[in-house]
Structure formats: C-alpha cells, structure tokens
Amino acid sequence: MADKKPFNLKHFLVGTSIEERISQNAHSYPATIVSKPTPTPAANNRKALSNISSKRSSIPSIPIGNIMDQMNTQYRVVKPDFLLETITLIRKLIKVNPDMGQALHNIVTLGNTGHKIFFDRKVSPDQVDKMRNHIKNRQAVWADGQAGMDGLVNKMFSQAMIGGAVSNEWVPNIDLNGIAAVILVNPEEIRFKLEKGNIKYTAYQRVKNNFLAAGNGMGSIDFLNLVKLNPQTYKYYALNGDTEIPYGFPPYLAALERIESQGKMNTNIDFIIDQLGLMGFLHAIIGKPDQEDGEDNTKYDIRLDNLLATTKTRLNEGVKDGTVIGFKDDAEFKYNSISRGFAEALTLFKNNELQVASGLKQDATLWGRDYNTSETQITVIFIKMLSELANIQNIISTNLEFGYSLDLRLAGYTFDSLEVKFNRSTLQDDLKYQQGQEIKVRNIRDKMIMGIIDQNQAADELDYDQPAFPQPMVSWDVLAGQSDPPPATPGAAGAKKATRQGQKNKSAKKTRQTNKPISKNK
C-alpha cells in the first residue's frame, strides 16, 4: 500500500480549486470544511434560461373594440367572431326541425353511455367505494327534474352541440361541505375579458334587464351588464375554435342557411299539395248556358258562379270515388299529372338535404335516408361517428372531473387524481376494443420478452400509471409461452375441481382405449 503524502497546508490554501484540494488531500482534509453544493440541473436550466421574459411579446389578434376599450381593462370585453344570437336560433330549431332534432338525438343517445369514476392507486379500494357511493348519492339533488346524473349529462351533450361549449357552475352548499346544484349557464350569455398582461381571460355573464345598465336615462352600458363568474366554481369548455379567443362556436352553425332553404321548399310543397293534390289536378270544361229572357247580367253571373261551384263539388266527390260523369259535348275532362315536375323537385330537395347533413356534421344514412349506401360504408360512417363522440366525451369528462373533485374535497376526502371514463358506445364497439387490446397486450408482452422495454414502460403503453408489481407474476418462460404456468395451490374447491378433472381424464383415456382399432399381426 502506497504511503500517504504529508498534508501541505500551503498547497491546500493556494490550490486551483476546492474540489482539487479535497481530492488531493482527502486523507487529512479537516472535517469542519465542506465543499460548495453542486448546482442542480434545475438551477442550471434556470440560469441558462435567464434571458427569457415573463411578458407576452405577441399582440392579441382579437376584436376588443375601439382604442379606449383596448386601453382600459374595464371595457376590454372580447367579442366573439360569430353572432351569439344564432345559438338561440339553433336552440329553437332543434325543437321543430326534424333533421336537426335527429342529429342532436343521435349525439346524445350514442354519446351518453354512462361513465365510471377512477382514482389514483394510492387510494384504497374501501375508500374508492366510499367516494363513489358519496357521488352517487349526491347526484340526485344536483339538478331538479333530471334522472340523476345521466339526465344532467344528456343536457351537457345538448349544450355542447347547441352552444359550442359546456358552460356550467358547480354551486357549493351553504355549509361548504359539498355541491348543492349544477347550474347550466347559457353559452350565449358568456363574455370574456382580456386581463392585464394579455394572457388570461376572465369569464363574465351578461345579465339582461339589469337596472343599473338600462332604464336609467343613460342608455344601455354593456359593461354594467357583466357579472364576474367565480373561477373556482364556474367552468367553460369550448368544443372547437382555432384562435386564442375562448369562445366555442356551435357545430350546427354551418347548416342554418340550408335549413332555411329546406323550410322554403317545404312551404312550396305544402302549397302545391293543398292546391293541386299530390299527383296532379283535373281540368274540366263545361258548356256555358245561355242567358234567359228578362235575366239581367247580375243574376246571370250569379247563376254561372253557382253552376261552377256545384260542378266542382260533384267532380271532387266523383274523383274520390274514382268516377267522373258528364254529358257528351257538354263537358270536357282532362287530367294533368305533376309527377314529373314533382320528381325534379325531389331531386332538388335531396341535394339540399345532403348539404343540411354536412352542416350538421352527420351522414344522412344515420337518419334512415336511403341513398344507396353499402353496408361497408355504413360501418365506416358509424365508426367515424363514434370517434367524433369520443372528442365530445373528453370535454364532458373534464367537466365532470372538476365537479366531482370539488364535491369530494369539500366533503373532506383526499386523493391525488380523479378520472372519469365513459363506457363503450355499443357492444360491437366494446368487442372491437377488446380485440384491439388483446393484440396490443400481445405486442407489448413480446417487446418485454425481447428486452426492448421493461415492466414500467409496458404499463405506460397500456395506459397505466405504474405496474402493480415490479416483475411479471409468472416466469419469463411462461410469459413467452414456452412452458405451462405453475399449478395453483388448490383449496377445497380447487381439490374438488382437480378430482373431477382427473376422473374426466381417466374416462377419456378408457374411451380412447376402447375405440382403439385392433392391429392385425403380419
């Protein structure tokens, strides 16, 4: 063993760095002297990013108003890029227009499949059951006139499709130990203000019939109509949009123009049916009687009008019976069919209906229209719709997660995370999902066997936070399918099952021996 060098105090004090002094004189370094801490990666990153500004450098490209509105934050109400009144119009048309009503019905029926609440793995199973039961019991009082949470979720789907956003407030009770009610706030009443710094937007509700804003001799002052909403209880989730403006626009907005054309066509068709009938009209010409002696023109005109009215009544009755009778040379009958023109009108109606379907973001086949769609096309359309529904479900899930978490935390429950997942839309959809999961698990298992990924990454690819156990529950040979899994230790039930299986094996063996053909000696 090499001799240790004697401690050189002069060299220690004038060394190039304290790290070198420690390493060179570790054998005699005084215990009271410690090195400076090594900068952590976070500290190094912050130092490297020290030139970053905390302010926004881009300019908001949003309609705020005039220069005074931009300078004064009190007036900085962001204007949406569409007419909010269209939401009210869509809400009315949903109730009376069959295509719009069916489009919304499809979304609500296929989208609201029921949901389940999941918690982080740190929560014990008993605690999970308690929190789920708490939410289930509380849901019944959150909305009047609704069939529990399912009815309320139905309205959330409708609100998202009609107004382009989920907009509701989770109102706590007076004791602040839970949620008292879930209020659906109309999206068209929401206004956003761009706060100082041009980063955050604050939600306000535009209140109608405000005494301070109207009827005071000063005219209507818009900012006095605005009531600031509590960000701890109110949430606004836009369904779509492509700018920083928080407003979501209604998905059915693009269908309004074609809906108007459809209304005009229906009005014209109703007029034609009322005036001419469904298939055509009867043209009758009867002989005009001569004016009698001493009959003035007024009485003569009255007699002619009465004759025409009586003839029309008799012809209508005859047409209903399928028989029209008249005197030869006195009456001429001709039936004019409008079926050809009606068929051309149906083509125009169909083309407009297809555009209505496009505006409503659905295929007309889902409405029962026969447009020569093959079975494969229908399957593709249905799968596409299910994918679109998942997008809406994600927004509503986020809203439910916020409300459920708020209620549980007010009630005193503790947990790290809460997740809401909707059930599969149909049995066929669930079957395809399970088949896909089977293939996915098999591929991930093969990557684990090959050593490409470990247990943690496998859990991550299977959408789990972490594996339940650090290693697989069976050996790698069993996992690879090269050997049988170890037999489980049988209990009373297992022993009976093993006995029955043994008896079945003996019986099968005896049957095989009995049915075995006798070989002939050569």
Query: Region 17-22: what's the mean pLDDT?
Result: 43
- The DSSP-derived string for 412-449 is T---S-EEEEEPPSSHHHHHHHHHHHHHHHHHHHHHHH
Q: Which of 203-207, 238-242, 370-374 has the lowest mean pLDDT?
A: 370-374
pLDDT at 428: 61
What Rg do the C-alpha atoms of the chain give, in angstroms? 40
pLDDT at 259: 84
Top-confidence residue, 104 or 425? 104
Going by the DSSP 8-state scheme, the letter that residue 242 receives in this structure is S
Mean pLDDT of the chain: 76
Q: Alpha helices of 222-294 — where are they, by DSSP H?
A: 256-276
Name the token pair of 100.
């719009």
Q: Torsion angle of alpha carbons 271, 277, 279, 285, nearest 10°? A: -120
pLDDT digits (tens, 9 = 90+) for 80-123: 888 999 999 999 999 988 888 989 998 999 899 899 999 988 89
| Domain boundaries of the chain, sorted by first residue | 9-47, 62-279+338-425, 426-485
pLDDT digits (tens, 9 = 90+) for 343-369: 666 677 777 777 888 888 887 777 777
Cβ count within 10 A of residue 353 = 20
In sequence order, the 6+-apart residues with CB closer than 8 A to the CB of 15 are 21, 24
Q: Is 390 helix (H, G, I), strand (E, B) or coil?
A: helix
**Residue 412, pLDDT above cutoff 90:** yes
Query: Region 242-257: what's the mean pLDDT?
Result: 90
pLDDT at 317: 67
Q: Which of 348-352, 470-474, 477-481, 496-500 has the lowest mean pLDDT?
A: 496-500
Classify the phi-psi angles of 372: left when phi > 0, otherwise alpha if psi is within -120 to 50, otherwise beta: left
* Pair 172, 157: CB distance under 8 Å: no
Q: Is 287 helix (H, G, I), strand (E, B) or coil?
A: coil
Query: Region 447-469: what's the mean pLDDT?
Result: 85
b/e 411-420 (16+ beta carbons within 10 angstroms → b)? eebeeeebeb
pLDDT at 55: 80
Query: Region 421-444: what's the mean pLDDT?
Result: 81
